[in-house]
Amino acid sequence: MIEPLSAPEPQITVLDAGGQYCHLISRKVRDLGVYCEVRPSETPAALLRGRRGVILSGGPASVYEEGSPQIDRALLSLGTPVLGICYGQQLMAHLLGGRVERGQEGEFGLAELEVDAPDLLFAGLPPRQQVWMSHRDTVSVLPPGFQRLAHTNSCAVAAMAHAGNHLYGVQFHPEVAHTRYGTQILSNFLFRICGCRQDWNPAGRAAMLEEGIRETAGERKVFFFVSGGVDSTVAFTLCLRALGPGRVRGVYVDTGLMREGETEFVRGIFQPHSGAFAVLDAQERFLGALEGVYDPEQKRQIIGDEFVRIQQEALDAYHVLDEEWILGQGTIYPDTIESGGTEKAAVIKTHHNRVPAIQRLIEENRVLEPIRLLYKDEVRAVGRELGLPSELLDRHPFPGPGLAVRCLCSREAAPLGRSAEGWVLPVRSVGVQGDSRSYASVLCLEARPSSTGSLHRQATALINQLAGINRIVALVDSRAPLEQMSGTRGSLDRVRLDRLRRADAVVRRLSCESGYERSVWQFPVILIPVGAAGAPDSIVLRPVDSVDGMTAESAAMPPELLRQIAGELLALPGVCAVFYDLTHKPPATIEWE
């Protein structure tokens, strides 16, 4: 194995077509012990001649659209093995004489793959297996010389190959955790098809990251806003180790958008670094700036811009000269790619660390993001290397904008819509469908979640069929029947934030006491402006299972715990109903805004 700070010549190149999971492919390859790089999709084939294999990523475009990502066609005749994933398969088929068409229905989330030909790609794997899909377009006619390797109920060509030319394609995403045998499929491509050798040891990340911090910072000081979450705490601790406490300053900003007891928890975590850490109360400023704001993207922009203004004021207060400082951030890779961080990627939602004011600082080389290419599970691994306590590292992720993105707002009251499948709630949420952002309606099923498994399956099937819907929920319990409920007017004010804060505290307490909290990756609690007379709001429970936040399954809840949580939530003033989010990511995002 190589030394941690050196890197060999890449054996595998991932060509980026703008997919949400492009760097996840690269990371999975490295996890298998093979050094890998990411390059733009149009990289000339001549520059890839030394590679043992090339992987074409997914992406939000359609191959038949003008301006869609392309590759150098010569790549497909080099003799170098090529694996196309999602858009990558479609592009391969399109360029080689096949046909790609828009499917009658999309396929988002879990699907059952049936292997038709146990080719090298599926060697040693079962004939039926769970895969993760995110597409509307599909290969309808195979290119000459190709054979179909697998299919699903909604996708006739879920995998294809021209073994003689070493060309392979899959419509699903083997790189995500929810494709059950995805790692083995990638391993088959690397070792059985490409003949790769293991040459990469991902151990010792902390030392590599500290060296990168020293190189980026130079002689400058680093100013951090820390949230008390895993990401910012790991990034801050890395900087303390790399530069020493005299060159690092951390400030926790109490925005008024935090969970119950959060500020006290953060004070305790950073007590050992009290000389380099302070708390700033900015509740009035954030709540004032957000007053009367309803659009989720505008909320994120305001929060990010306000952070930058407070940062400038804090730097002045600590007498830090401009030329001596840079801004440190705990940005991780999913934050950047959902903000359109790769060249051809769509913007799913603007992360507060990627608003225009932050982008200007990045362009001026005044931002340090030591963990920007890591995923959540990798950040936790680095935290363990640093000796951070498990009570911090095992915390559920919490969004930087806080409860602002879990408190949905509405300018006007609106009725619920009736449909054959259930009730359409008069709220919209952010989703990710086919690698692109969606902002669409929410459907509530008629059935109550007594048998959550069947409802999850029903939700997955429906969302692939229905246009204009990116999220499906079930009603757990309510003070009023659905037909008597309606959308309500609701803004981001103290009353609604306190209502959400109390609901979140109830859910966290009962989940912790039951042990359920340890069985899921994250459990957002959402407040939506849907209710009845005297109770204008409702709560949505959103437990999910994930590895890195790039994909997620809506997690099943024990019926008894679900009833207990709903009972306590309905006892809170102003809460009319409790819903249960059944939607995977994709097509929904984990958060609602």
Residue 175 catalytic? yes
Distance from C-alpha of 289 to C-alpha of 258, rounded to nearest angstrom:
16
Instruction: Say which of 86, 194, 239, 444 is annotated catalytic.
Output: 86
Tokens 């012990």 belong to 33
Out of 175, 306, 553, 593, pick the active-site residue. 175
Instruction: Specify whether the CB–CB gap between 515 and 560 falls below 8 A.
Output: no
- Token pair of 94, please? 């399109």
CA distance 32 to 501: 42
CA distances for 494 relative to 290, 363, 416, 457, 507, angstroms: 11, 36, 26, 38, 20
**β partners of residue 437:** 432
Structure tokens at 71: 């590759």
The residue annotated as part of the active site, out of 166, 173, 351, 456, is 173
Phi and psi, residue 64, nearest 5°: -90, 5
How many angstroms separate the CA atoms of 20 and 285, rounded? 34
Residue 173 annotated as catalytic: yes
86 is catalytic: yes
18: left (phi over 0), alpha (psi -120 to 50) or beta: left
The phi, psi pair for 259, rounded to 5°, reads -75, 165
Look up residue 522 and give its amino acid.
Q
Neighbours of 283 (CB within 10 A): 14
Coil vs helix vs strand at 487: strand
Q: Which helix (H) or strand (E) holds 461?
A: helix 452-465
Report which residue type is found at 455: L
Place of tokens 């994709």: 586
As annotated, the active-site residues are: 86, 173, 175
